[in-house]
Amino acid sequence: MKQTYRIAVLPGDGIGPEIVAEAVKVLNLVAEQAGVTFEFSYGRIGGIAIDTDGTPLPEETLTLSKKADAVLLGAVGGPKWDQNPGHLRPEAGLLGIRKALGLFANIRPATMHPVLVEASSLKPEVVSGVDLIVVRELTGGIYFGEKKRYSTEHGEVALDQCIYHETEIERIIRVSFEIARKRQKRLVSVDKANVLESSRLWRKVAERVAVDYPDVELTHMLVDSCAMQLVRAPKQFDVIVTENMFGDILSDQAAMLTGSIGMLASASLAEGSFGLYEPVHGSAPDIAGQGIANPLATILSAAMLLRHSLGMDAAADAVERAVWAVLEAGHRTGDIASDRSKAIGTEEMGQLVLAELSKQPIHQ
Ligand code: NAD
């Protein structure tokens, strides 16, 4: 009997449905080639869920996600919901699903492929050869600590608490060591230990866990220094691990070394093999519905899904090879095209990837 995997698909808002459709076509071809079955179940998240269900994260969406082996998500948000109160904003759906599914490790690769060197705003000699991963802690820290707002006689006061438990730090540090172990075995733990107590605990736990990974070199870097080094000499990095807010900022900065937001994939992992996969970019309301969005970040996120949640490494490699082959042949969507008049659309890009993929043997 064929192996069956369940994949929850949450297209979301804006360009979400357009780009997710192309990634699903790629997964269908992978299933055919690898002799497995993917059962897709669709759910609503973000603005569309606010409109239909009155909440950015309906119970039904959570239930079908929990039943799945992995989740593929498009993007959420748009101007229509920008003035909504906090709990009725599309982003609340994202924060909610991360927490509810225990997605504590956000993995963001930044790889400079030679064909895209000209898309970076940095000099080719600085960025060519960059191949790093930022691992961001996703469910703790200042984004989830207590929040307060109150008035005093001198005006309003706002407070956001940054809290980390030792266990939360340990599990993300372990994930990072495991990733580094399969790469160049260099891990940089980023904190602000000269100022923050939570960072001092972070550093202590990182040192303790390092004893279990003698084959991996651990170094520490302050977040401000890391921000500078990422732009000055990004090739020095292999794996970077950091807490939630620092990771939010540094992962965007690292991603931009490679030039295009339309190419960047991400994975958010729970304990075990379960994960949620999504492009790094947002719902791009400015180009939604025009059929011109770049679907490659979502297709590359689907490749990460195959690798991390389904253990289909050969299929993941084949999808990535197909994407690079299409780019090497000179095809570009508008966001990465140097000559926009020659840019192709979302579906055409998807079709080209399918055509390349059908030439790639998948031996699982
Ligand atoms: P964005 O990433 O949506 O767009 C930034 C720019 O990049 C836009 O010009 C857009 O057209 C372009 N772009 C993004 N993805 C592209 C693609 N695949 N192909 C071609 N061009 C692409 O960021 P934004 O404009 O700051 O935010 C728009 C909405 O998305 C907001 O509501 C924001 O809250 C939301 N958002 C959601 C996520 C998410 O779902 N994870 C992440 C970031 C922003």
CA of 246 relative to ligand 1 center, distance in Å: 20
265 found inside a domain: no
Whether residue 334 sits in one domain with residue 319 = yes
Whether residue 27 sits in one domain with residue 48 = yes
264 found inside a domain: no
Whether residue 247 sits in one domain with residue 120 = yes
Residues serving a catalytic function are 143, 192, 224, 248, 252
- 158: region left, alpha or beta (phi > 0 left; psi from -120 to 50 alpha): beta
Whether residue 98 sits in one domain with residue 37 = yes
CA neighbor of 205 nearest in space, from 241, 180, 179, 229: 241
Whether residue 249 sits in one domain with residue 113 = yes
96 found inside a domain: yes
Domain of residue 339 covers 1-104+270-364
Angle between helices 90-100 and 59-67 (to 10 degrees): 40
Query: Whole-angstrom Cα distance, residue 9 to residue 118?
Result: 33
CA-to-CA dists, residue 135 to 65, 143, 164, angstroms: 23, 16, 16
244 found inside a domain: yes
Ligand 1 atom nearest to 286, measured from its CA = 11
- Supply the CATH number for residue 51's domain: 3.40.718.10
Listed as own residue / partner, the contacts of 93-98 with beta carbons closer than 8 Å and 24 or more positions apart are 93/45, 93/46, 93/49, 93/55, 93/56, 93/57, 94/45, 94/46, 95/143, 96/56, 96/57, 97/45, 97/57, 97/61, 97/62, 97/65, 97/71, 97/276, 98/138, 98/139, 98/268, 98/276
The preferred substitution site among 20, 261, 281 for testing ligand 1, maximizing ligand atoms within 8 Å of CB, is 281
Where is the domain boundary, 235, 259, 283? 259
Query: Whole-angstrom Cα distance, residue 313 to residue 180?
Result: 17
Whether residue 252 sits in one domain with residue 148 = yes
CA of 249 relative to ligand 1 center, distance in Å: 16
Ligand 1 atom nearest to 295, measured from its CA = 18
Is residue 10 within 8 A of residue 73, CB to CB? The reply is: yes
- Altogether, the residues listed in the chain come to a count of 364
pLDDT tens series, the chain, 364 aa: 789 999 999 999 999 999 999 999 999 999 999 999 999 999 999 999 999 999 999 999 999 999 999 999 999 999 999 999 888 999 999 989 998 999 999 999 999 888 888 878 899 999 999 999 999 999 999 998 999 999 999 999 999 999 999 999 999 999 999 999 989 999 999 999 999 999 999 999 999 999 999 999 999 999 999 999 999 999 999 999 999 999 999 999 998 898 778 899 999 999 999 999 999 999 999 999 999 999 999 999 999 999 999 999 999 999 999 999 999 999 999 988 888 888 999 999 999 999 999 998 777 6
Domains: count for the chain:
2
CA of 166 relative to ligand 1 center, distance in Å: 34
Q: Is any ligand 1 atom within 6 A of the Cβ of residue 255?
A: no
Nearest CA to ligand 1 atom 1: 282
37 found inside a domain: yes
C-alpha torsion angle, residues 233, 134, 201, 162 (rounded to 10): 110
Query: Whole-angstrom Cα distance, residue 145 to residue 143?
Result: 6
Where is the domain boundary, 259, 284, 306? 259
CA neighbor of 168 nearest in space, from 107, 63, 225, 242: 242
The separation between CA 339 and the C-alpha centre of its own chain, rounded to angstroms, equals 28
What is the pTM assigned to this prediction?
0.91
Whether residue 246 sits in one domain with residue 116 = yes
